[in-house]
Each structure stands twice: as structure tokens, then as C-alpha cells.
């Protein structure tokens, strides 16, 4: 009997997961190979499957089955089963609390709002986007109201959509440590030469770049037998069927090989997480990533901690030189590591370096918090943006296009999402520290041995899936609580190396 | 009220069609970009959507809505509406007559049987495949029984799955004309030199081949804004969303540019049909192809009638020479036309030329007919295959791999499908004749003007969709009934040209 209930629950979850497989593929294709003329039909096909999926996710029969499964699990002493029903309950409660009309309104508003944002950005005209942005804030407030929680304010509820267990109070505390820490690093780095070394200037042949990046990704541990690399205008990672089919995309610029290389390493980091999920629990939340912050920790770990290290270049520079013998003659690993680690205040978040990046996030967090507690109006945003850029980074955009209009997120209704980028850096730095106590990372990386490092991540971070919440996972893995000073110390060391002092 | 019923019917059809969109994309991806490790998950994801689609296709609510729509249509005098309900009724009756357990059994048997066929072919061991083949014949007989029809025998019912209105009696009559006609052409062509001209020998750069083929397809009229060309091991055309998203695939061999070029033209012919369907009736049977024979007529028309003509090479040879200046210096259009029109008996159907191709089909038709009327046992097949090859083509395979095991179709349970290939040739020849009475095809093609020809096909063949059955469509378009002698006359003329007599 009890086995039957669990089997029935798994069957229902499988049905939902298989629809998510199709949704992921339809979306992937939309960005990669779909002909332009197919876009309207694709939106309709996606809408159809999403609709069926939502219906299943809030099906009362799922709720009944889940209740029975909870009874079975609670008496079973089986920790996996208990984690399973806990996570299914979490998803189910979320699904049933959002009324269908609100979900449709949000979906519709997102597509309008994204169009308005694109046009506003093109025309550098914030006023064009403002009413849609206001609408997005209103709809997301309504969304948060549906998920009302005694302990959490609306903005916290939104943050929890992306990072379970995080609150604005906690994140505010983090910023109090991180912001001054990063600012003093920016100052210290100001003596760094602001010019790009001549050997970095390219042009870099696209095919060769792709071949090299693919070689790097495969060596780090991204399994191409369960993955693929395709071209898109914005790089991403998607999993039609984790851990068996996890794809990444990239872009290539002839001027700058680092855009492609670090993009590929970053997405490979995301993909290795998904490829490391537990196949025993395929189609259930135990074979799913736990949060965006943890996800980002995996991409940033490989991109920044590993990929931008001197050790990395000790191993990979000869290989890169095989592809591009001329321009890289005589360049050493340390020189290359310096070249890929500039620290310079800049206007655009996605182009920001590792040190200044967190300041861009703190700024967005404060504005979002204000939008949801009512202390900031959308009309205040362009001005506040400039003020805070001045305060945190010492520079100001001339246009809103390079300011408040630069990110797509708000047009999608993604509020509370930005903090996960910074949390990813914090986790990543702590994982590095913990691994380094067991494995001499520099020695391994210099020797081109990545398996031990990946294995550590596989066991401690990837395989657990949603069995543990982000902060629990961090503690399990590192034995430490969340500590923003680890990131600062790590960056301090890096800036020191780059400065040669 | 009556408008509501039609709107409701269209809404239901749209729901089914949007699922077919996802199914087509999942299958396309499986052959193009899916990583190998994703295949099991993909089968599951496909099974899920196919299941939902089948449920909708046989939903009693669809039946009720359809009955009401039939009442509305019959009194409306609206021919489109009448065609619509007729075709929806046809699909619905088919769907409700096949019991779900039989459909599952067939699906399961196909995957077993395909695996057995692959292995049997690899090992040249027919006995390994025989029991599965028997099972496929049995299941397809049961399938035909479900669709029982007073006027049609089981094999006819299967033929009708692919070519509505065709019977084995009628197709037998066709073969009586076609087989001796082709045989005498083969004899006449026997004096042709059996060697490939030196300038055809390559190697041909793959990228250049693809660029040229793409250029040709676009010039003929395949719209890449609503299409794409990707690489697969077996070329095909698929429509996630006709007429807005219609894709083709191809393969490339360095030894032989014609494999790629004529493959691309062939698939473009299929794709232009789908791109020419009526967008006003998207998601309904009126925006769907009527039969495999008509589909094949479109691919063969562009591949053989247009693509293998001297006029085609008058226009395209200079362009091909731009890509491959060396080997093609001094080669003329007539010489090239001769080189791409060899007539030689050969063992493998998919490599057969235009003249011998029909003989391969006649052979398969006779064997299939015998399997379903009980006059042939599966164990007889290898021997009968050799006998008939000797009789029709004057050659015999040494192995079953090159004989009875060469085609994948039977392993998929596709019986009654092969005749559509020959019907495609017959239709194509008659379309050519009819167009040529209005448009000087040779003159147009030599001048690189394809629009008039495509427009004729668009209006007469593509746009009608399933409004007319294949033989009605042929008569509407050409003013003639099906007449196999047109193909023979056309090929006779071609052999004469190639022979230079």
C-alpha cells in the first residue's frame, strides 16, 4: 500500500517533469535554431504545454496523493522520502495559491513589458517603460500576497522564489560587509594599468575560439555526451532532462576571446551542477537544483576561482597558444591571469569584473527593496540609480540606457533575483576555501587535474539536489555558516597578486 | 450559435495541433542536436505528449462538437467548412476505432522491431528479424481490422493510411503499365557508359556544398525565414508549425556532391508544399498535406523534373563553378545533366536512379500484398526478393543486407507506404506536363525564373491542403485522370536525351 502511494506520487511528478522537458526544449530551440517566422506559432505551442503543466501542478488529485505520501514518509525514517514530500508540498502549495487569472495576467504583462523595455532602452526613454514597470511591481506584489507568510515581507517572499531561506534583512547585513570591502578593493586596484595588453587585442578566429572553449569545458568535466554547445545572442544553460540532457549556449566575438571562453566556462559550471544531480530521483525535486544562488556559485566557481587563476593558465596557455601561436608568443601564465582580471569601475553589470560586480548588485537590491516597501517610486529610479552609482562606484551613466534600463530582469517581473548573483560569489568563495583544505587546488589545476575538485562538488553540492536548503547545504559542505568576509579575503588576495604586491 | 460551434471545434483542433508542434520539434531535435545521453529521457518526453494528444484526438467531447459542426456545415453552403468537418470526421473515426492497448502494443513493438532489424541488418541475419516482422504484420492486420471497411481489404486499408483512395487493385493495374515500360527503358539505357565522368569525382568541400545547396533551395523558393537546414544521418523534412516553421535536414559526402544537392532539393520540395499550405486554416486539416504520394510528387518534381534537367544546369552550373572552379572548368550543362542522370540497375532502392526506382517499388508492393493476403510467409521473403530482383532488374543481391533487410519501413510497421513513392513520380510527371502547357518550363528554368512554376504548384497543389483527395487534386490541377504512361513517356524522352538519340 505505502509503496503504491509513493509510486503514484512519483508517476504524477514524472508527468509534470516530462512536460517541463518539452518546455525547455521549445525554449532552447527558440533561441538557437527556430526560424524567425516560427515565433508566433512557438509562443502558442509553449502556452499550450505550460497550461497543461500548470493544471497538473495544482491538480487536487496530486494534493490527495501527496497527503497520503506524507503519512507514509513521516513514519518511514527514510530521509530521502521525507525530503521528497517536503519539497513536493512546497511546490504544490505555491502552485495552488496563485490563481490562474493572476498567472495569465503576469504572463501577458511580461511580454508587453519586455517589448516596452526593449524600445525604451533603444530610445533611452525611461518614461516609456515606467508605467509597465509599475504594473510589474504591482503584479509581483499581488503574487507575493498570494504566498503570504507571517515572517516574510512581500520582497522577502519574492527573494525566496529564487533563494529559499534568504531575507532582505539578512541580505542587507551581507551588503554592509561586502560593500565597504569591495570599495576598498576597488581603490586599492586603482593603481592597476587601465589599458588592455597588446596581446589581448585579437582578432581571434571564431572557429578556433569555439574549439578551444569546448576543449576547456570538456577537460573541466562538462560531459558532452549529455550536453551540447550552440550559438545564441545571450549565453545560457538549460536542462531538458537533467542529468541526461543539459545544454549550454555561447556567443563569440572576434575582438575578445575572453567573452566566449569565460562565458563557456560559466555556463559549463551551471551545466556540471545539473549533470551532477541524482539520476536515481530523476523527474522529482530531489533531482533538481536548490536555488539560483547555489547554481550561480557553480558557474562562478569554475569561471572565476578556477578559470581566472594563474594555475589555470599554467595548464591551458600552451593549448590556447596551439590555436593562436602568433599573438601569444612569449606571454606567460601570470601575465595572462593579470590580463583576465582587470578591476575597473564600469557602468554595465554584465561587463563588470569580479570585484566591482557585487556593488552593482547592492545597488539593485536597495532599489528593489524600496520599490516594494513603498519608499521608492518608479519615477525616482533614474535619479537614484545615478546617485548610487556615484556612491558605490564613483562613476555615473550619461544615459538611462547605460543606467536603470540596462537589465532585462524587471521587465520580466524578476524582483529579488539580483541578490542571487552576489550570493553565488559568496558561496563560491567559501566552497573554494573548503575544498582547498582537502585538495591543493592550485597544484591540481596547474597539472590539469580537475576530477578531484569536481568530485567534491558532485558529492557535496550537486547530488543533494533539493534535499537541503541553500544555507544548510553550505554548512554541510563547508562546516561554516555564510560568511561574506571569505569573498573579500579571496578577492583581496587576487587583487594583491594582480598588483604584484 | 453556429459560429460558436465552429469556433469551439477550431479551438479543439488547435489544441491538438499545438501538441503536434511539440512532438515534431522533439523528434527533429532527436535527429539533429540532442546529445546521445538524452535519448531515453527523450523517448519518455515524447511518449507523454503523444499520450495527451491521442486522448484529445479521441475525446468524446470532440465527437459531440464535431456532430454539431457537421449540422452547421451541411446547411451552410460553405465548401471550406464542409471539407473541414469531413476531414475532422475522418481523423476522429480513425482515432476512436484504434483501442489504446493496441496503439501501445504497436508503439512498443516498433521500437523492439527496429532494434531487431538494425541488428539483423548489421549481421546479415534475416532469421533474427523474422519473428518481429511477423509480429508487425500481425499487429498491422489487427490495426486494419479495427478500421474495417466493406470495400477495402486489410492491405488496402493500410495503403489508405498513406494515400487516401488508393487500392491494391488500382496500384496493381498501374504496375502492369509501369513495370514493362521501365524495363524497356532500362534495356535501352544499357548502352550508356557505366563509368562516372572524371569531373564528378571530387573531393567536394563540405561547407561549399552546403552553401551551394542552400543557395539553390532559396532560389527555387524554399523560404529560409520560415525554414532551416541542419545536418542528420538521414535527410528529412518536418513541420513543427506549417506553414510558418518547416525545416529540412541533409547529409554531405565529400565524394559526391549530388547526394547533398539532390537531397536538399528533394527535401525543399517537401518543404515548399508545407510552406504553401493555407495559413488561414492553420491548426486544422485544411492546412495539412493530403497524402504521402502528393507530398512525394512535390519533392520529386523539384529534384528530378527540374533539378536534373539541362535547363537547371544552364542556370546553376556557373554558380556551382564559382564554388568549385577547378574540376568544373569546361564542363557544359548537357554534360552535367548526363552525369546526374545515370540509368543502371542497382541493389539499393535509396540509391536507385529515376528509371529503375519504380521497379524497386513494384517488387515491394507485390511482397507486401502477399504478406497480407496470406499467400506469402515471412520466411519466403529473402528468396522471393532475389527472384523478383532478377526478374525486374536482372541482378541479385549476395546478401539479405542488400536485399530484403535494406529498408527500415517494415520494422516500423509501415506496410502500404512504398507505393506512395511511385505514385509521387506519376503525379509529378503529370504536373510537369500540365504546367508545361501554360509555362515554358525549360525557358523559365534556364533563365533562373522559378516563381511561375512554384506559383502554379502553390495554387493547385499546396493551398488546397486536405480539401481534395489525391486523385481529385490531380484531376483539378491537370484536367487528367491518373495516367502512368505520362511518366514512361517523360522518362523515355529523358533517356533519349541522355543517350543523345
Tell me: the pLDDT tens digits for B305-316?
A: 999 999 999 999
Nearest to A129 by CA among A416, A398, A411: A411
Point out which residues pair with A3 in neighbouring strands.
Answer: none
Chain B partners of A230 at a C-beta cutoff of 8 Å?
A: 33
Same domain? B49 vs B126:
yes
With CB atoms and an 8 Å threshold, state whether A41 touches B21: yes
pLDDT tens, residue by residue, A414-449 = 999 999 999 999 999 999 999 999 999 999 999 999
Residue B100 — very low, low, confident or very high, per pLDDT cuts 50/70/90?
A: confident
Q: In sequence order, what E strands does B165-280 have?
A: 229-231, 237-241, 245-250
Averaged pLDDT, B347-363: 96
Chain B partners of A38 at a C-beta cutoff of 8 Å? 226, 240-241, 244-245
B444 and B297 within one domain: yes
In this structure, is residue B496 part of a structural domain? no
Find, among B489, B473, B177, B86, the residue nearest to B298 by Cα.
B473
- Residue A208 is predicted with a pLDDT of 97
Q: Are B115 and B219 in a shared domain?
A: no
- Using CA atoms, how far residue B123 sits from A140, B188, B400, B497, in Å, is 62, 37, 10, 42
SS3 A246: strand
Contacts of residue A374, Cβ cutoff 8 Å, sequence gap at least 6: none
User: Chain A residues with CB inside 8 Å of B22's CB?
Assistant: 22, 26, 45, 48-49
**Alpha carbon distance A216, A265 (integer Å):** 8
Instruction: Answer whether B45 sits within 8 Å of A240, measured CB to CB.
Output: yes
Contact B241 A42 (CB under 8 A): yes
User: Do both B213 and B332 map to the same domain?
Assistant: yes
pLDDT per residue over B411-466, tens digit each?
Answer: 999 999 999 999 999 999 999 999 999 999 999 999 999 999 999 999 999 999 99
Domain final position from B123, B156, B189: B156
Q: Is the Cβ–Cβ distance between B70 and B85 less than 8 Å?
A: yes
- Residue B317: partners with Cβ closer than 8 Å, 6 or more residues away: B328, B331, B332, B333, B336
Which residue in the set A15, A34, A228 is minimally distant from B245, CB to CB? A34
- According to DSSP, the residues that pair with A230 across neighbouring strands are A249
> What pTM does this model have?
0.94
Residue of B139, B160, B135 whose CA lies nearest to B149 = B160
In a domain, B357, yes or no: no
Q: What is the ipTM of this complex?
A: 0.93
Please state the φ and ψ torsions of residue A203, each to the nearest 5 degrees.
Answer: -70, 150
Instruction: Tell me the CATH number at B85.
Output: 1.20.58
In a domain, B165, yes or no: no
What's the gap between Cα B230 and its chain centre?
Answer: 19
Judgement on whether residues B224 and B315 belong to the same structural domain of the protein = yes
Please tell me which residue of chain B has the smallest CA distance to A228: B35
pLDDT in tens, B207-255: 999 999 999 999 999 999 999 999 998 999 999 999 999 999 999 999 9
pLDDT > 70 in chain A, percent? 99
The three cell numbers of residue B367 are 511482397
Residues B15 and B118 in one domain: yes
What does the pLDDT average to over A31-48? 94
**Residue B423 included in any domain:** no
A238 in helix, strand or coil? strand
Q: Among B267, B282, B296, B366, which one carries the catalytic annotation? A: B267
Q: Are residues B90 and B148 in the same domain?
A: yes
A298-346 pLDDT, tens digit per residue, is 999 999 999 999 999 999 999 999 999 888 999 999 999 999 999 999 9
Interface size, chain A vs chain B, as Cβ–Cβ contacts under 8 Å:
116
Is residue B464 assigned to a domain? yes
Quick one: how far is CA B441 from the chain centroid?
Answer: 24
B480 Ramachandran zone, left/alpha/beta (phi>0; psi -120 to 50): beta
Q: Which residues of B touch A (CB under 8 A)?
A: 14-15, 18-19, 21-22, 25-26, 29, 32-38, 40-42, 44-45, 47-49, 52, 223-228, 230, 240-241, 244-245, 247, 282
Query: Residue B448 class from Cβ within 10 Å (0-12 exposed, 13-18 middle, 19+ buried)?
Result: middle
Same-domain status, B124 and B237: no
Structural contact between residues B283 and B303, judged by C-beta atoms closer than 8 angstroms: no
Cα–Cα distance measured from residue B181 to residue B185, given in angstroms and rounded to the nearest whole number? 6
What is residue A142's predicted lDDT score, i.e. its pLDDT? Answer: 97
Count structural domains, chain B.
Answer: 2
- Does B63 lie in the same domain as B203? no
Q: Kindly report, residue by residue over B380-411, the tens digit of the pLDDT.
A: 999 999 999 999 999 999 999 999 999 999 99
B42-49 mean pLDDT: 94
Indicate the residue among B121, B138, B156 that finishes a domain: B156
d(CA A14, CA A284): 7
- Are B298 and B237 members of one domain? yes
Mutate to test the interface with B, among A33, A41, A284 (most CBs of B within 10 A): A41
Question: Which residues span the domain enclosing B12?
Answer: 2-156
Residues in chain B: 501
Confidence band of B499 (pLDDT split at 50, 70, 90): low
Verify that B216 and B127 share a domain, yes or no.
Answer: no
- Tell me what percent of the residues of chain B surpass a pLDDT of 70: 99
Contacts of B264 (CB under 8 A, 6+ apart): B213, B214, B216, B217, B229, B235, B248, B250
Give the three-class secondary structure for B247: strand
Mean pLDDT of A373-381: 97
Helices A168-189 and A354-373 meet at what angle, rounded to 10?
150
Dihedral, CA atoms, A388, A394, A395, A400, nearest 10 degrees? 0
B451 and B313 part of one domain: yes
Q: Buried (b) or exposed (e) across B481-498, using 16+ Cβ within 10 A?
A: ebbbebbbebbbebbeeb
Residue B501 has a pLDDT of: 44
Q: Which residues of A are catalytic?
A: 267
Q: Do B35 and A241 touch (CB under 8 A)?
A: no
Query: Can you spell out the DSSP letters for B352-419?
Result: --HHHHHHHHHHHHHHHHHHHHTSS-GGGHHHHHHHHHHHHHS---SSSTTTTTS-SGGGGT--S-TH
Which range has the top average pLDDT, A163-172, A319-328, B488-497?
A: A163-172
User: Is there a contact between B38 and A223 if contact means CB atoms under 8 Å apart?
Assistant: no
Amino acid at each position: 500500500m505505502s509503496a503504491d502511494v509513493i509510486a503514484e506520487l512519483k508517476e504524477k511528478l514524472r508527468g509534470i517533469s516530462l512536460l517541463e522537458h518539452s518546455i525547455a526544449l521549445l525554449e532552447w530551440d527558440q533561441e538557437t535554431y527556430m526560424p524567425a517566422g516560427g515565433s508566433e506559432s512557438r509562443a502558442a505551442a509553449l502556452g499550450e504545454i505550460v497550461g497543461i503543466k500548470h493544471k497538473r501542478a495544482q491538480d487536487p488529485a496530486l494534493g490527495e496523493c501527496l497527503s497520503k505520501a506524507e503519512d507514509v514518509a513521516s513514519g518511514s525514517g527514510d530521509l530521502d522520502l521525507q525530503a521528497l514530500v517536503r519539497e513536493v508540498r512546497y511546490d504544490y502549495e505555491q502552485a495552488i495559491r496563485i490563481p490562474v487569472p493572476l498567472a495569465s495576467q503576469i504572463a501577458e504583462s511580461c511580454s508587453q513589458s519586455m517589448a516596452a523595455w526593449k524600445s525604451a532602452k533603444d530610445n533611452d526613454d525611461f518614461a516609456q517603460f515606467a508605467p509597465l514597470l509599475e504594473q510589474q511591481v504591482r503584479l509581483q506584489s499581488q503574487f507575493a500576497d498570494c504566498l503570504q507568510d507571517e515572517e516574510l515581507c512581500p520582497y522577502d517572499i519574492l527573494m525566496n522564489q529564487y533563494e529559499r531561506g534568504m531575507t532582505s534583512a539578512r541580505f542587507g547585513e551581507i551588503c554592509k560587509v561586502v560593500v565597504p570591502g569591495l570599495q576598498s578593493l576597488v581603490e586599492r586596484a586603482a593603481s592597476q594599468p587601465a589599458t588592455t595588453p597588446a596581446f589581448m587585442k585579437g582578432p581571434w578566429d571564431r572557429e578556433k575560439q569555439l574549439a578551444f572553449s569546448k576543449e576547456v569545458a570538456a577537460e573541466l568535466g562538462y560531459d558532452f555526451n549529455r550536453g551540447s554547445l550552440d550559438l545564441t545572442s545571450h549565453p545560457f544553460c538549460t536542462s531538458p532532462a537533467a542529468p541526461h540532457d543539459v545544454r549550454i549556449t555561447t556567443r563569440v566575438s572576434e575582438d575578445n576571446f575572453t567573452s566566449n571562453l569565460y562565458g563557456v566556462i560559466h555556463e559549463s559550471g551551471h551545466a556540471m551542477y545539473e549533470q551532477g544531480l541524482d539520476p536515481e530521483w530523476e523527474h522529482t525535486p530531489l533531482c533538481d537544483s536548490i536555488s539560483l544562488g547555489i547554481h550561480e556559485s557553480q558557474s562562478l566557481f569554475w569561471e572565476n576561482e578556477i578559470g581566472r587563476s594563474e594555475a589555470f593558465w599554467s595548464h591551458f596557455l600552451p593549448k590556447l597558444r596551439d590555436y593562436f601561436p602568433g599573438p601569444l608568443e612569449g606571454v606567460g601564465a601570470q601575465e595572462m591571469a593579470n590580463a583576465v582580471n582587470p578591476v575597473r569601475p564600469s557602468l554595465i553589470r554584465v561587463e563588470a569584473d569580479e570585484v566591482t560586480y557585487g556593488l552593482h548588485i547592492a545597488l539593485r537590491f536597495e532599489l528593489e527593496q524600496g520599490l516594494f516597501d513603498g519608499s521608492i517610486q518608479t519615477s525616482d529610479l533614474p535619479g537614484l540609480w545615478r546617485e548610487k552609482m556615484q556612491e558605490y562606484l564613483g562613476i555615473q551613466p550619461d544615459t538611462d540606457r547605460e543606467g536603470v534600463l540596462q537589465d532585462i530582469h524587471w521587465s520580466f517581473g524578476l524582483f529579488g533575483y539580483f541578490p542571487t548573483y552576489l550570493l553565488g560569489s559568496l558561496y563560491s568563495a567559501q566552497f573554494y576555501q573548503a575544498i582547498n583544505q582537502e585538495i591543493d587546488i592550485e597544484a591540481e589545476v596547474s597539472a590539469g587535474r580537475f576530477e578531484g575538485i569536481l568530485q567534491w562538488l558532485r558529492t557535496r553540492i550537486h547530488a543533494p539536489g533539493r534535499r537541503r536548503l541553500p544555507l544548510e547545504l553550505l554548512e554541510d559542505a563547508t562546516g561554516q555558516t555564510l560568511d561574506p568576509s571569505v569573498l573579500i579575503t579571496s578577492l583581496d588576495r587576487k587583487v594583491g597578486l594582480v598588483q604584484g604586491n
